Amino acid sequence: MRIVNYGFRILLITVALTCLLPSVYGQLAVRGEIVHTMAGEPITNGVVLINGGKITAVGPAASITIPSNYRVISAKVVTPGLIDAHSVIGLNGYLNQPHDQMALDGGASFQPELRATDAYNAEEKLIEVVRQYGITTIHTGHQPGALVSGQTMIAKTWGKNVDEATIVPTAMIAVTLGSAANASGRSPGTRAKQVAMLRAELIKAQENEAKTDKPKDLKSQIMGRVIRREIPLLVTAEAAQDIMTAIRVAKEFNIRIVLDGVADGHLIANEIKASGFPVIVHPTMARPGGDRANLSLENASKLRAAGIPIALQSGYEGYVPKTRIVLFEAGMAAANGLGQRNALAAVTIDAARLLGIDNRVGSLVVGKDADVAMYDGDPFEFTTHCTGVIINGKVVSDVVK
């Protein structure tokens, strides 16, 4: 009798596990009245199949058979998970208290050795906030405010710890040129001093690379990677003169840079285009003034029209709630010349390409990470709600039914 009971228990456990398989292994079918794959034209009445954390099929519902054991989720509009191309969340937190403000160290002006992964809090509430709007990937790290404030990283907006969330542990080195380069009150205080200090460190890095016995300190190691063109500098520069300085220094040392902010970009679009460097455009709704005196809501559209690769960002916010929402920034850019499809590209596939992660995210394509955002209307309409979010094939939004 005990043997029979034991066998019956095994049968019950087996049945229970079978029922759980779709959620454990992410066997999902997402149906959308409109599916923006960002790899072609939108699909009307489309289906995205997900298994094992990856996309396994995408196409019209008429051409895709949904397995009977797949969980089916429906939405009006389906897009790839959104990408915020530059943020500081995870290092700076929503409390705006010293213990959760870790994106800027005032100890020195030049600190490229500071690793974003060592300061990233995967459980920061702001990560949850942006995820609820469909943002599944963020490029985050040390903020503008020092000549070189530290490193940036790329992470998913889901994970219990930094190792689980991280895609790229060291993505770029954050540099600031202009009036914001000495937020701590330390040198450099003038533009000439900023560039002299940056140039001196780049010369030192070049000399170190030429040595047989290379220095092993952290600063030399990371600057060596910049000289070897393995990682770029992320240069926050708003005024035209600072943008041009960044381009000039990059050409002088043959290093890679990504221009960030670039409020005056629309005034010197031809020069930026000629440089070949991409731009992560300042938050569309940033406050004008100072180096941003010429800020324009049409900046993103004008830069893209000039043929410059762009992505959109939430950027650095100095006061609570400490972050913008890149979905809203894209909506404003769409309404100011960029258009709906280009704005969506700027927070999906174009952002993924600029960050070098388009082999994994940015579009709904077979083999890519199953990162999906779902909405009950046009994502850029203010009254639209994000009804569900999937990251790595897991439903991570409580809104999804």
What is the mean pLDDT of each successive set of 10 residues along the chain, which is 401 residues long? Answer: 42 41 68 98 98 98 97 98 98 94 95 98 97 98 96 98 98 97 84 97 98 95 98 98 98 98 98 98 90 96 98 92 94 97 98 98 98 98 96 83 44
- String of b and e for 316-332 (b: at least 16 CB within 10 Å)? bbeeeebbbbbbbbbbb
pTM over 0.85: yes
Backbone angles phi, psi at 5, to 5 degrees: -60, -40
Share of the chain above pLDDT 90, in %: 87
Instruction: Map out the domains of the chain as residue ranges.
Output: 20-79+364-395, 82-355
333-392 pLDDT, tens digit per residue, is 999 999 999 999 999 999 999 999 999 999 999 999 999 999 999 999 999 999 999 999
- The answer to whether residues 91 and 142 touch, using CB atoms and an 8 Å cutoff, is yes
* Per-position DSSP letters for 318-330, written without gaps between them: SSTT----HHHHH
- The answer to whether residues 376 and 367 touch, using CB atoms and an 8 Å cutoff, is no
Number of residues written out for the chain: 401
Kindly report the CATH class assigned to 20-79+364-395.
Answer: mainly beta
- In angstroms, rounded to a whole number, what is the distance separating the alpha carbons of residues 159 and 394? 11
Check whether the bond before 188 is cis (ω within 30° of 0): yes
pLDDT of amino acid 185: 77
pLDDT of amino acid 173: 98
CB under 8 Å to 261, separation ≥6 — which residues?
144, 236, 237, 238, 280, 281, 282, 292, 315
Kindly report the CATH class assigned to 82-355.
Answer: alpha beta
Check whether the bond before 42 is cis (ω within 30° of 0): no
